[in-house]
Amino acid sequence: MKRMLVVVAVLLTATMAFAGWDSGTMFPAGPDSVESYGHGVAVDGNGRIWYGSYYSMDSIYVPAPADSFVACRALRVFNPDGTLETSIKTFGPLDPSESYFGYEVDTFWYSLRGLGTTPEGDVIVSVYDSWYVLDKDDYTVKQFVKMPFGENSITKVATDDAGNMFVNMVVAGGNPIKAFDPDGFLIDDVVPGDLTSGYSRTIEVSPDANDIYFFSYTSSGVVIFHSDEGLDGDYTSQMDTIYGLNVESAAWSPDGLLWMGVRPPSAVPFTPCSHVAWDPTQKAFVDSMVPDSAQTCGWTIYPRGIDFADANTAYVTYFNTWDNNGIYKFVKTEEGIWETEGVFGPKAFTLKANYPNPFNPATTINFNLTAGANVNLSIYDVNGKLVETLVDGYREAGDYTSTWNGSNVASGTYLYRLTVDGQSITRKMTLLK
Protein backbone atom coordinates (compact mmCIF):
# COMPACT_ATOMS: atom_id res chain seq x y z
CA MET A 1 0.00 0.00 0.00
CA LYS A 2 1.62 3.24 -1.15
CA ARG A 3 1.67 6.45 0.79
CA MET A 4 -0.33 9.14 -0.95
CA LEU A 5 1.25 12.54 -1.40
CA VAL A 6 -1.78 14.30 -0.02
CA VAL A 7 -0.94 16.57 2.90
CA VAL A 8 -3.80 16.95 5.36
CA ALA A 9 -1.69 17.68 8.43
CA VAL A 10 0.24 20.66 9.71
CA LEU A 11 3.00 19.84 12.17
CA LEU A 12 3.22 22.57 14.78
CA THR A 13 6.40 23.16 16.71
CA ALA A 14 5.13 26.39 18.16
CA THR A 15 3.58 26.69 21.57
CA MET A 16 0.59 25.16 22.38
CA ALA A 17 -18.00 -15.76 32.51
CA PHE A 18 -16.46 -12.74 33.56
CA ALA A 19 -14.17 -12.00 36.45
CA GLY A 20 -16.45 -9.09 37.31
CA TRP A 21 -15.28 -5.53 37.72
CA ASP A 22 -17.20 -4.11 40.66
CA SER A 23 -18.90 -0.80 41.23
CA GLY A 24 -17.33 2.17 39.48
CA THR A 25 -17.09 5.31 41.59
CA MET A 26 -16.58 8.91 40.74
CA PHE A 27 -13.12 10.34 40.10
CA PRO A 28 -12.29 12.85 41.36
CA ALA A 29 -14.51 13.56 44.36
CA GLY A 30 -17.27 16.13 44.05
CA PRO A 31 -20.23 16.48 41.68
CA ASP A 32 -18.88 19.80 40.37
CA SER A 33 -15.31 18.59 39.80
CA VAL A 34 -16.00 17.25 36.31
CA GLU A 35 -18.80 18.31 33.99
CA SER A 36 -21.38 15.82 32.77
CA TYR A 37 -21.90 14.28 29.32
CA GLY A 38 -18.41 12.80 29.08
CA HIS A 39 -17.21 12.22 25.54
CA GLY A 40 -13.67 11.01 26.08
CA VAL A 41 -11.10 9.94 28.65
CA ALA A 42 -7.40 9.17 28.21
CA VAL A 43 -4.37 8.45 30.41
CA ASP A 44 -1.23 10.14 29.10
CA GLY A 45 2.37 8.95 29.38
CA ASN A 46 2.76 10.76 32.71
CA GLY A 47 -0.21 8.97 34.24
CA ARG A 48 -2.46 12.04 34.13
CA ILE A 49 -6.14 11.55 33.35
CA TRP A 50 -7.63 13.68 30.55
CA TYR A 51 -11.37 14.29 30.27
CA GLY A 52 -13.68 16.21 27.98
CA SER A 53 -17.41 16.82 27.73
CA TYR A 54 -19.43 16.93 24.54
CA TYR A 55 -20.91 20.30 25.50
CA SER A 56 -19.48 23.70 26.38
CA MET A 57 -18.22 23.72 29.95
CA ASP A 58 -16.02 26.79 30.20
CA SER A 59 -15.56 30.25 28.73
CA ILE A 60 -12.83 32.40 27.26
CA TYR A 61 -12.52 36.14 26.83
CA VAL A 62 -12.71 37.29 23.22
CA PRO A 63 -11.48 40.89 22.72
CA ALA A 64 -12.94 43.51 20.40
CA PRO A 65 -15.16 43.46 18.52
CA ALA A 66 -16.78 40.80 20.70
CA ASP A 67 -15.39 42.17 24.00
CA SER A 68 -17.04 39.45 26.06
CA PHE A 69 -16.65 35.99 27.53
CA VAL A 70 -17.78 33.31 25.08
CA ALA A 71 -18.69 29.72 25.98
CA CYS A 72 -16.23 27.08 24.84
CA ARG A 73 -15.26 23.50 25.46
CA ALA A 74 -12.33 22.57 27.69
CA LEU A 75 -10.16 19.59 28.52
CA ARG A 76 -9.61 18.83 32.20
CA VAL A 77 -6.30 17.19 33.09
CA PHE A 78 -6.15 15.51 36.51
CA ASN A 79 -3.20 14.17 38.46
CA PRO A 80 -3.36 10.55 39.65
CA ASP A 81 -4.41 11.76 43.12
CA GLY A 82 -7.48 13.43 41.62
CA THR A 83 -6.33 17.03 41.85
CA LEU A 84 -6.80 19.25 38.81
CA GLU A 85 -3.53 19.80 36.95
CA THR A 86 -4.79 22.17 34.26
CA SER A 87 -7.67 23.14 32.00
CA ILE A 88 -7.02 23.45 28.27
CA LYS A 89 -9.25 25.87 26.39
CA THR A 90 -7.06 26.86 23.45
CA PHE A 91 -4.77 24.81 21.23
CA GLY A 92 -2.33 27.53 20.18
CA PRO A 93 -1.81 29.49 16.94
CA LEU A 94 -4.26 29.11 14.08
CA ASP A 95 -4.17 29.91 10.41
CA PRO A 96 -4.97 33.67 10.22
CA SER A 97 -7.65 32.91 7.63
CA GLU A 98 -9.71 31.35 10.41
CA SER A 99 -10.85 33.45 13.32
CA TYR A 100 -13.63 33.99 15.79
CA PHE A 101 -14.87 37.58 15.94
CA GLY A 102 -11.50 38.47 14.45
CA TYR A 103 -9.67 36.72 17.33
CA GLU A 104 -7.02 34.54 15.68
CA VAL A 105 -6.56 31.76 18.19
CA ASP A 106 -7.52 28.11 17.88
CA THR A 107 -10.00 27.89 20.72
CA PHE A 108 -11.77 24.68 21.68
CA TRP A 109 -15.14 25.78 20.23
CA TYR A 110 -16.34 22.53 18.72
CA SER A 111 -17.65 19.36 20.31
CA LEU A 112 -15.23 16.67 21.42
CA ARG A 113 -15.31 13.41 19.46
CA GLY A 114 -12.93 11.36 21.57
CA LEU A 115 -9.54 11.11 23.30
CA GLY A 116 -6.70 8.69 22.65
CA THR A 117 -2.93 8.46 23.03
CA THR A 118 0.12 7.98 20.83
CA PRO A 119 2.75 5.32 21.58
CA GLU A 120 4.81 8.12 23.19
CA GLY A 121 1.97 8.94 25.57
CA ASP A 122 0.88 12.22 23.97
CA VAL A 123 -2.87 12.80 23.74
CA ILE A 124 -4.90 12.75 20.52
CA VAL A 125 -7.88 15.08 20.75
CA SER A 126 -10.59 14.54 18.13
CA VAL A 127 -12.68 17.71 17.78
CA TYR A 128 -15.62 17.61 15.37
CA ASP A 129 -13.92 17.35 11.94
CA SER A 130 -10.20 17.49 12.87
CA TRP A 131 -7.72 16.21 15.43
CA TYR A 132 -4.78 17.50 17.46
CA VAL A 133 -1.86 15.78 19.14
CA LEU A 134 -1.05 17.53 22.44
CA ASP A 135 2.27 17.12 24.24
CA LYS A 136 1.92 15.18 27.49
CA ASP A 137 4.48 17.39 29.26
CA ASP A 138 3.60 20.97 28.35
CA TYR A 139 0.21 20.54 26.58
CA THR A 140 1.35 22.34 23.42
CA VAL A 141 0.21 21.25 19.97
CA LYS A 142 2.57 18.86 18.20
CA GLN A 143 0.31 18.07 15.27
CA PHE A 144 -2.92 19.29 13.70
CA VAL A 145 -4.70 17.14 11.11
CA LYS A 146 -7.40 19.21 9.49
CA MET A 147 -10.65 17.82 8.12
CA PRO A 148 -9.67 14.38 6.78
CA PHE A 149 -13.29 13.95 5.65
CA GLY A 150 -14.00 17.59 4.88
CA GLU A 151 -16.47 19.33 7.16
CA ASN A 152 -17.78 16.03 8.55
CA SER A 153 -17.61 14.64 12.07
CA ILE A 154 -14.87 12.11 12.80
CA THR A 155 -14.53 9.31 15.33
CA LYS A 156 -11.92 8.96 18.04
CA VAL A 157 -8.52 8.32 16.44
CA ALA A 158 -6.70 5.02 17.06
CA THR A 159 -2.97 4.23 16.74
CA ASP A 160 -0.83 1.15 16.25
CA ASP A 161 2.53 0.57 17.93
CA ALA A 162 4.33 2.34 15.07
CA GLY A 163 2.29 5.50 15.60
CA ASN A 164 0.15 5.20 12.46
CA MET A 165 -3.31 6.69 12.98
CA PHE A 166 -6.69 5.34 11.90
CA VAL A 167 -10.00 7.19 11.70
CA ASN A 168 -13.42 7.04 10.10
CA MET A 169 -16.53 9.20 10.06
CA VAL A 170 -19.34 9.20 12.62
CA VAL A 171 -21.73 8.69 9.71
CA ALA A 172 -19.81 5.58 8.78
CA GLY A 173 -22.04 4.11 6.08
CA GLY A 174 -20.49 4.68 2.67
CA ASN A 175 -17.35 6.33 4.04
CA PRO A 176 -13.90 4.71 4.11
CA ILE A 177 -11.57 4.05 7.02
CA LYS A 178 -8.41 6.11 6.51
CA ALA A 179 -4.85 5.55 7.75
CA PHE A 180 -2.26 8.28 8.38
CA ASP A 181 1.44 7.99 9.16
CA PRO A 182 2.88 9.29 12.48
CA ASP A 183 3.54 12.70 10.87
CA GLY A 184 -0.10 13.08 9.90
CA PHE A 185 0.23 12.36 6.17
CA LEU A 186 -2.46 10.29 4.51
CA ILE A 187 -1.38 6.73 3.69
CA ASP A 188 -4.55 5.48 2.03
CA ASP A 189 -8.19 4.52 2.39
CA VAL A 190 -7.59 1.14 4.01
CA VAL A 191 -11.23 -0.02 4.12
CA PRO A 192 -13.67 1.13 1.42
CA GLY A 193 -16.90 2.82 2.41
CA ASP A 194 -19.15 0.12 1.01
CA LEU A 195 -17.96 -2.21 3.81
CA THR A 196 -18.96 0.11 6.66
CA SER A 197 -22.49 0.82 7.83
CA GLY A 198 -24.39 2.76 10.46
CA TYR A 199 -23.04 5.36 12.87
CA SER A 200 -19.71 5.09 14.68
CA ARG A 201 -18.04 6.79 17.68
CA THR A 202 -14.68 5.05 17.80
CA ILE A 203 -12.24 2.80 15.97
CA GLU A 204 -9.41 0.51 17.11
CA VAL A 205 -6.46 -1.21 15.54
CA SER A 206 -4.27 -4.01 16.84
CA PRO A 207 -0.76 -3.02 18.00
CA ASP A 208 0.79 -4.71 14.93
CA ALA A 209 -1.76 -3.04 12.61
CA ASN A 210 -2.92 -6.41 11.27
CA ASP A 211 -6.48 -5.97 12.52
CA ILE A 212 -8.79 -2.98 12.19
CA TYR A 213 -11.89 -3.08 14.41
CA PHE A 214 -14.89 -1.23 13.02
CA PHE A 215 -17.54 -0.37 15.60
CA SER A 216 -21.07 0.86 15.04
CA TYR A 217 -23.58 1.79 17.70
CA THR A 218 -26.50 1.33 15.31
CA SER A 219 -25.46 -1.99 13.75
CA SER A 220 -25.33 -5.04 16.00
CA GLY A 221 -21.84 -6.32 15.47
CA VAL A 222 -18.10 -5.51 15.39
CA VAL A 223 -16.39 -6.07 12.04
CA ILE A 224 -12.73 -7.10 12.10
CA PHE A 225 -10.72 -6.38 8.94
CA HIS A 226 -7.50 -8.44 8.81
CA SER A 227 -4.30 -8.05 6.79
CA ASP A 228 -1.38 -10.44 7.30
CA GLU A 229 0.91 -7.67 6.06
CA GLY A 230 -0.64 -4.81 7.99
CA LEU A 231 -0.67 -1.54 6.06
CA ASP A 232 1.19 -3.19 3.18
CA GLY A 233 -1.62 -5.70 2.64
CA ASP A 234 -5.33 -5.86 1.87
CA TYR A 235 -7.67 -5.54 4.85
CA THR A 236 -10.69 -6.60 2.83
CA SER A 237 -9.42 -10.10 2.03
CA GLN A 238 -10.20 -11.43 5.52
CA MET A 239 -13.20 -10.21 7.50
CA ASP A 240 -14.83 -11.48 10.67
CA THR A 241 -17.70 -10.25 12.85
CA ILE A 242 -18.36 -10.28 16.59
CA TYR A 243 -22.14 -10.33 16.70
CA GLY A 244 -24.51 -8.81 19.23
CA LEU A 245 -22.70 -5.63 20.24
CA ASN A 246 -23.55 -1.97 19.73
CA VAL A 247 -20.26 -0.31 20.70
CA GLU A 248 -19.67 3.35 21.64
CA SER A 249 -16.11 3.30 23.05
CA ALA A 250 -13.08 1.04 22.95
CA ALA A 251 -9.47 0.80 24.14
CA TRP A 252 -6.73 -1.78 24.64
CA SER A 253 -5.64 -2.71 28.14
CA PRO A 254 -1.92 -3.34 28.74
CA ASP A 255 -2.55 -7.10 29.02
CA GLY A 256 -3.72 -7.28 25.41
CA LEU A 257 -7.50 -7.24 25.84
CA LEU A 258 -9.77 -5.06 23.75
CA TRP A 259 -12.37 -3.37 25.96
CA MET A 260 -15.62 -2.22 24.37
CA GLY A 261 -18.37 -0.03 25.80
CA VAL A 262 -21.81 -1.56 25.20
CA ARG A 263 -24.63 0.76 24.20
CA PRO A 264 -28.20 -0.24 25.03
CA PRO A 265 -29.87 -2.15 23.62
CA SER A 266 -27.42 -4.97 22.92
CA ALA A 267 -27.95 -8.68 22.75
CA VAL A 268 -27.82 -10.87 25.85
CA PRO A 269 -25.52 -11.59 27.65
CA PHE A 270 -24.01 -8.10 27.28
CA THR A 271 -25.21 -5.74 29.99
CA PRO A 272 -26.07 -2.29 28.62
CA CYS A 273 -23.76 0.49 29.89
CA SER A 274 -21.02 -2.05 30.67
CA HIS A 275 -17.59 -2.58 29.15
CA VAL A 276 -16.66 -6.08 27.99
CA ALA A 277 -13.18 -7.42 27.22
CA TRP A 278 -12.40 -9.37 24.04
CA ASP A 279 -9.34 -11.64 23.94
CA PRO A 280 -8.19 -11.73 20.31
CA THR A 281 -6.10 -14.86 20.87
CA GLN A 282 -9.00 -16.88 22.30
CA LYS A 283 -11.59 -15.06 20.18
CA ALA A 284 -13.78 -14.85 23.26
CA PHE A 285 -15.08 -12.42 25.87
CA VAL A 286 -13.18 -12.92 29.11
CA ASP A 287 -14.06 -10.04 31.44
CA SER A 288 -16.56 -7.24 32.04
CA MET A 289 -16.92 -4.01 33.94
CA VAL A 290 -20.34 -2.85 35.20
CA PRO A 291 -20.82 0.18 37.46
CA ASP A 292 -23.29 -0.44 40.29
CA SER A 293 -25.09 2.79 39.55
CA ALA A 294 -25.84 1.66 36.00
CA GLN A 295 -28.40 -0.68 37.49
CA THR A 296 -30.45 2.31 38.59
CA CYS A 297 -30.06 4.42 35.45
CA GLY A 298 -32.76 2.84 33.30
CA TRP A 299 -30.20 2.22 30.52
CA THR A 300 -30.17 5.86 29.50
CA ILE A 301 -26.40 6.29 29.72
CA TYR A 302 -23.84 5.59 27.04
CA PRO A 303 -20.20 4.54 27.64
CA ARG A 304 -18.23 7.14 25.69
CA GLY A 305 -14.70 6.74 27.01
CA ILE A 306 -12.30 4.20 28.53
CA ASP A 307 -8.54 4.04 29.10
CA PHE A 308 -6.05 2.29 31.37
CA ALA A 309 -3.31 3.53 33.66
CA ASP A 310 -2.07 -0.07 33.95
CA ALA A 311 -3.50 -3.57 33.65
CA ASN A 312 -5.20 -3.18 37.03
CA THR A 313 -6.53 0.39 36.82
CA ALA A 314 -9.16 1.72 34.41
CA TYR A 315 -10.98 5.01 33.95
CA VAL A 316 -14.33 5.28 32.16
CA THR A 317 -16.82 8.03 31.43
CA TYR A 318 -20.41 8.10 30.28
CA PHE A 319 -22.61 10.38 28.20
CA ASN A 320 -25.64 11.47 30.27
CA THR A 321 -24.20 10.33 33.59
CA TRP A 322 -27.00 9.23 35.87
CA ASP A 323 -26.27 10.60 39.34
CA ASN A 324 -22.66 11.80 39.49
CA ASN A 325 -20.84 13.72 36.81
CA GLY A 326 -17.36 12.62 36.00
CA ILE A 327 -14.81 9.88 35.59
CA TYR A 328 -15.19 6.51 37.25
CA LYS A 329 -12.22 4.48 38.42
CA PHE A 330 -12.03 0.67 38.59
CA VAL A 331 -9.25 -1.28 40.34
CA LYS A 332 -8.39 -4.99 40.22
CA THR A 333 -7.44 -6.74 43.45
CA GLU A 334 -4.65 -9.29 43.88
CA GLU A 335 -7.33 -11.98 43.86
CA GLY A 336 -8.33 -10.95 40.35
CA ILE A 337 -11.62 -9.32 41.33
CA TRP A 338 -12.43 -5.90 39.92
CA GLU A 339 -13.83 -3.56 42.52
CA THR A 340 -13.85 0.07 43.48
CA GLU A 341 -11.53 1.59 46.06
CA GLY A 342 -14.10 4.24 46.87
CA VAL A 343 -14.13 7.83 45.69
CA PHE A 344 -10.71 8.52 44.21
CA GLY A 345 -9.00 11.85 44.66
CA PRO A 346 -9.23 14.40 47.48
CA LYS A 347 -11.76 12.79 49.78
CA ALA A 348 -14.36 14.40 51.98
CA PHE A 349 -15.64 10.98 53.04
CA THR A 350 -15.01 7.26 52.64
CA LEU A 351 -17.29 4.24 52.46
CA LYS A 352 -15.70 0.95 53.43
CA ALA A 353 -16.63 -2.53 52.25
CA ASN A 354 -19.35 -4.10 54.36
CA TYR A 355 -18.43 -7.00 56.64
CA PRO A 356 -19.15 -9.85 56.43
CA ASN A 357 -19.89 -10.20 52.74
CA PRO A 358 -21.65 -12.42 51.77
CA PHE A 359 -23.76 -12.28 54.94
CA ASN A 360 -26.83 -13.76 56.65
CA PRO A 361 -28.82 -11.99 57.90
CA ALA A 362 -26.88 -8.91 59.09
CA THR A 363 -23.82 -6.97 57.93
CA THR A 364 -21.92 -3.92 59.16
CA ILE A 365 -21.25 -0.80 57.06
CA ASN A 366 -18.57 1.71 58.12
CA PHE A 367 -18.01 5.20 56.77
CA ASN A 368 -15.93 8.25 57.68
CA LEU A 369 -16.51 12.00 57.38
CA THR A 370 -13.65 14.49 57.38
CA ALA A 371 -16.09 17.34 58.09
CA GLY A 372 -19.66 17.75 59.22
CA ALA A 373 -22.17 17.14 56.43
CA ASN A 374 -25.67 16.03 55.47
CA VAL A 375 -25.53 12.26 55.13
CA ASN A 376 -27.78 9.60 53.65
CA LEU A 377 -26.97 5.89 53.77
CA SER A 378 -29.55 3.73 51.98
CA ILE A 379 -30.00 0.18 50.72
CA TYR A 380 -31.34 -0.55 47.21
CA ASP A 381 -32.14 -3.69 45.25
CA VAL A 382 -30.50 -4.26 41.86
CA ASN A 383 -33.42 -2.58 40.11
CA GLY A 384 -32.80 0.65 42.01
CA LYS A 385 -35.78 0.31 44.36
CA LEU A 386 -35.19 1.73 47.83
CA VAL A 387 -35.20 -1.05 50.44
CA GLU A 388 -34.25 0.80 53.62
CA THR A 389 -32.63 4.05 54.79
CA LEU A 390 -30.10 3.58 57.59
CA VAL A 391 -28.85 7.15 58.04
CA ASP A 392 -30.48 10.42 56.99
CA GLY A 393 -29.44 13.75 58.44
CA TYR A 394 -26.53 15.91 59.56
CA ARG A 395 -23.50 14.20 61.10
CA GLU A 396 -20.31 15.67 62.55
CA ALA A 397 -16.85 14.61 61.35
CA GLY A 398 -15.82 11.14 62.53
CA ASP A 399 -16.15 7.39 62.05
CA TYR A 400 -19.62 5.82 61.86
CA THR A 401 -20.96 2.28 61.89
CA SER A 402 -24.38 1.08 60.72
CA THR A 403 -25.85 -2.40 60.69
CA TRP A 404 -28.31 -3.69 58.14
CA ASN A 405 -30.45 -6.73 58.87
CA GLY A 406 -31.77 -8.40 55.74
CA SER A 407 -33.96 -10.99 57.43
CA ASN A 408 -37.09 -9.53 55.82
CA VAL A 409 -35.84 -9.56 52.20
CA ALA A 410 -34.90 -12.27 49.74
CA SER A 411 -31.40 -13.51 49.02
CA GLY A 412 -29.53 -11.67 46.31
CA THR A 413 -27.32 -8.71 45.45
CA TYR A 414 -28.05 -5.35 47.06
CA LEU A 415 -26.50 -1.91 46.70
CA TYR A 416 -25.62 0.42 49.55
CA ARG A 417 -25.13 4.07 48.71
CA LEU A 418 -23.58 6.78 50.85
CA THR A 419 -24.46 10.34 49.81
CA VAL A 420 -22.65 13.23 51.49
CA ASP A 421 -23.69 16.76 50.52
CA GLY A 422 -24.71 15.54 47.07
CA GLN A 423 -21.66 13.30 46.43
CA SER A 424 -22.24 9.56 46.29
CA ILE A 425 -20.40 6.26 46.57
CA THR A 426 -22.18 2.98 45.78
CA ARG A 427 -21.03 -0.55 46.66
CA LYS A 428 -22.39 -4.07 46.25
CA MET A 429 -23.14 -6.71 48.87
CA THR A 430 -24.63 -10.21 48.75
CA LEU A 431 -27.23 -11.68 51.09
CA LEU A 432 -27.18 -15.48 51.20
CA LYS A 433 -29.87 -17.34 53.17
Taking the chain (433 residues) in consecutive chunks of 10 residues, what is each chunk's mean pLDDT? 36 36 54 72 96 80 66 85 83 50 60 95 94 93 91 96 97 92 96 93 97 91 95 95 90 96 68 85 88 51 90 87 65 68 52 88 91 91 88 93 96 88 78 93
Burial of 194 (0-12, 13-18, 19+ CB in 10 A): exposed
Check the CA dihedral 306-312-313-319 and report its sign. positive
Strand partners, 245: none
Nearest by Cα to 407 from 362, 377, 375: 362
Check residue 264 and give its pLDDT.
Answer: 67
Three-state SS at 99: coil
Nearest by Cα to 240 from 257, 251, 227, 230: 227
Burial of 169 (0-12, 13-18, 19+ CB in 10 A): buried
Three-state SS at 195: helix
Check residue 93 and give its pLDDT.
Answer: 46
Check residue 26 and give its pLDDT.
Answer: 56
Distance of alpha carbon 386 from alpha carbon 177, whole angstroms: 47
Q: Are 415 and 428 in contact (CB under 8 A)?
A: yes
Check residue 66 and give its pLDDT.
Answer: 63
Check residue 328 and give its pLDDT.
Answer: 81
CA torsion, ordered 420, 424, 426, 431, to nearest 10 deg:
30
Distance of alpha carbon 71 from alpha carbon 59, whole angstroms: 4
Helix or strand run (H / E) with residue 282: none
Distance of alpha carbon 129 from alpha carbon 68, whole angstroms: 26
CA separation (Å) from 316 to 27, 139, 302, 321, 399?
Answer: 9, 22, 11, 11, 30
Three-state SS at 356: coil
Burial of 69 (0-12, 13-18, 19+ CB in 10 A): exposed
Check residue 206 and give its pLDDT.
Answer: 98
Q: What does the buried/exposed string (b/e) look like for 236-253 if buried means 16 or more CB atoms within 10 Å of the residue's CB?
A: eeeeeebeebbbbbbbbb
Check residue 15 and give its pLDDT.
Answer: 29
Check residue 349 and give its pLDDT.
Answer: 75
Distance of alpha carbon 369 from alpha carbon 203, whole angstroms: 43
pTM > 0.85: yes or no: no
Q: Are 292 and 342 in contact (CB under 8 A)?
A: no
Distance of alpha carbon 426 from alpha carbon 133, whole angstroms: 36
Nearest by Cα to 156 from 118, 113, 189: 113
Nearest by Cα to 90 from 55, 48, 57, 139: 139
